[in-house]
A and B are shown apart, each in its own frame.
Chain A
């Protein structure tokens, strides 16, 4: 029964949902939840940042500014208006895709975030790719051989991978590949417009440092998930039908094993983004992490708000998509829950 369902999941969904409006209602509910969560997140971000001590105008003008200059700048930035007004103004901007102007440079924020995303986006994707390339074979092999010495060694390697922080790996890579072997740049970023190869070269070491740890974490989940599936009744049935263990796993087991992995994958995305902040600092990459840290230090609150909302939206959207996919892969989850 399960085997049949799994071989045609989309059919199963349609069969179970009965009417297409059930799927529509489910999607609508998920999207509404997403919007409410984003709204709550925006309030939280705004309130937390605005009760943070350290008035932007005083931080901008420093210790030798006259009180009248500080007052003039506060008014110019619109920070003397009631907080509710400031919040509504910001949210209105976000909804109309206007991220506003930086308190510090008075320049539009969107292009600055765009430029930072051109570094962080590829870095996170490449890190993810490295992670998957490591995790899938490592996880499956160590599961298949989990009773043998080789499986235990592989599993131990993954454990070490989890234990080593990515910034330590980063520093190690800089010493070995950049300072000693001089095969890749020690740090920094060649912009895409200057040289695509240069940009790719700048991302190799950071992506590996970022991806290795994520790969090790994912490998542990894949291993556990595959081991569980290997013990399932339906897999025994499939093997009883005459399939070899690997065939049975590929044809019937992997889709089932992928459900918990998909959940972890969604959660790990936020881990990757946070990891990218650290890796960017180690390799001095001009990405979203550096922008966020410098904006906090400069009390460029509006830029911080925009970045946090961008990251929060990405994570929430990915989690919603995972949630929906989840039900598509596994119709047993149902659409009502």
Chain B
């Protein structure tokens, strides 16, 4: 709860955060140059358990692996999300919001250059933002970029008008890679050499193996305390752990098996940093399938699942027990984890009340992910206790997308709903879990977004969260953790994983980071 209060408070200090970031930028050059003289900068090699980025162009593909490397590090946004959850101005030096969250006016930061030497202009910003919603656009997050016009105002401002007012749009612009600002002259080479204004630039790529970034010496802000960063990809957790132990990599950015943290926790050579993501690991229930149409059956399932035991098995106990579609970083977060305490007797009663005391059979389709495979056996035995006979099959992710997500052809699945602030899915017509009250939720969300005050917006969203939890639309299990293992002298990595980007703006091997960066949530 303390953390949720902190996050509620944070949203009101946007300007202050921006100022912090600016002060960080201002103080940076002296810190960096003085240390750079004494010791040559080293290259940071990150062992990543992610898949290799299928392309380096985040505007052409939804893979989070692209955003992890390129977003914020190479390509920057007008505003970005800091690890502490606050929205900070980056390529905009300031911004104003008017017309009840419908019109956003950004003042473009002066003196910023792309890594190829071209200056950043308001025209570049207009070009980049119009490109998202132009006809034939193939940007991956089109659904959350509800813009009707973008135009330059005066010499250094850009004004964005939304189709409908939104309390979420600024967050979406900051958090999702649709917000990247591009140099129009470099569009054709973005797949292999995206050129941006960020602290790093791409210098090399070995397909299915590594992406190399070098420090961008033209960078306008704080310069990271490394000469470059190499992301090396490991499809095999054992090989990745061995690479860290043998010194081939300096850190593991996210343990694919969180329980592996015990291998490193007691070793003084390493630090284990665990944090939360936006990911809601959930047993998704197809509300249109037979017995699952009945709210009592769905509630029985929620009572029958021991979420603590599942989190222990699937993520080594890391994470946070969840009870709705929200994480502590959301301004509207409420803790509903205790709404359905583990209670088999109660679950059986509800099953009997629904007329299913003899149970029914349920097919559980799993995507090929570690957490799903580890959680499934417990789900099978726990639902077995209330006579639901679960049969399990695993399919590959493209098939999951096609059959489960697109086709809605499933009974139940276990998935990490990884997007931030995605409660709007419950108001999306035809969304794969087929929630019966979707139109009602859509109306409530849009009313909340049009609310004149933030408090009313938050109240509206909380009402929706309580409603979906009351209706037991899905069985929200836990919030997925993000576990980093680092050599102990590494500083400046983000202490949370609420963005798709792995922001390395403040990273360093040895040394310290500015106090302002620490306040924004970077590891000191």
By a beta-carbon cutoff of 8 Å, the part of chain A in contact with chain B is 52-55, 58-66, 68-69, 72-73, 76, 104-107, 112, 115-116, 171, 174-175, 178-179, 182, 185-189, 191, 281-286, 290-291, 293-294, 296-300
Contact = CB atoms under 8 A, between A and B. Distances in A.
A122 to B, nearest CB: 15
A76 B396 contact: no
B94 to A, nearest CB: 29
A300 B55 CA distance: 11
Nearest to A77: B138
A284 to B, nearest CB: 5
B242 A175 contact: yes
Contacts of A189: 206, 209
Interface stretch (B31-39, B120-128, B370-378, B399-407): B399-407
Given A59-B401, A104-B55, A286 B206 contact: yes
B242 A64 contact: no
Contacts of A188: 209, 232, 243, 248
B206 A55 contact: no
Interface stretch (B17-25, B69-77, B140-148): B140-148
A47 to B, nearest CB: 17
User: Of B139, B143, B192, B398, which is in contact with the most chain A CB atoms at under 10 Å from its CB?
Assistant: B398
B99 interface: no
A108 to B, nearest CB: 11
A286 B140 CA distance: 27
Contacts of B138: 61, 65, 69, 72-73, 76
B243 A291 contact: no
B381 to A, nearest CB: 30
Contacts of A105: 54-55, 57, 191-192
Contact of A58 (B136, B206, B236, B406): B406
Interface string B179-219: 00000000000011000000000000011111000000000
User: Of A66, A285, A290, which is in contact with the most chain B CB atoms at under 10 Å from its CB?
Assistant: A66
User: Of B54, B60, B243, which is in contact with the most chain A CB atoms at under 10 Å from its CB?
Assistant: B54
Contact of B207 (A54, A69, A76, A112): A112
A187 B239 contact: yes
Contacts of B210: 286
Contact of B398 (A284, A290, A297): A297
A65 B239 contact: no
Contact of A63 (B55, B62, B234, B396): B62
Contacts of B406: 55, 58
B340 interface: no
Contacts of B114: none
Given A59-B401, A175-B242, 15 more contacts: A59-B402, A64-B419, A66-B143, A68-B142, A105-B54, A105-B57, A115-B206, A186-B242, A191-B206, A281-B235, A284-B233, A284-B235, A286-B209, A291-B207, A297-B397
Interface residues of B, number: 49
B178 to A, nearest CB: 9
A188 B240 CA distance: 10
Contacts of A296: 396
A105 B397 CA distance: 19
B61 interface: yes
A283 B401 contact: no
B137 interface: yes
A311 B399 CA distance: 25
Contact of A282 (B54, B239, B245): B239
A186 B248 contact: yes
Interface string B388-427: 0000000011110111011000000000000100000000
A64 B143 contact: yes
Interface in B421-465: none
Contacts of A53: 398-399, 402-403
Contacts of A52: 398-399
B246 interface: yes
A54 B401 contact: yes
Contacts of B60: 60, 106
A178 B207 contact: no
A64 B140 contact: yes
Interface in B357-393: none
B52 interface: yes
A58 B142 contact: no
Contacts of B143: 64-66
A116 B55 contact: no
Contacts of A58: 401-402, 406
A185 B242 CA distance: 10
B242 A187 contact: yes
Contacts of A294: 51-52, 54, 208
Contacts of A106: 55, 60, 191
Contacts of B140: 60-62, 64-65, 69
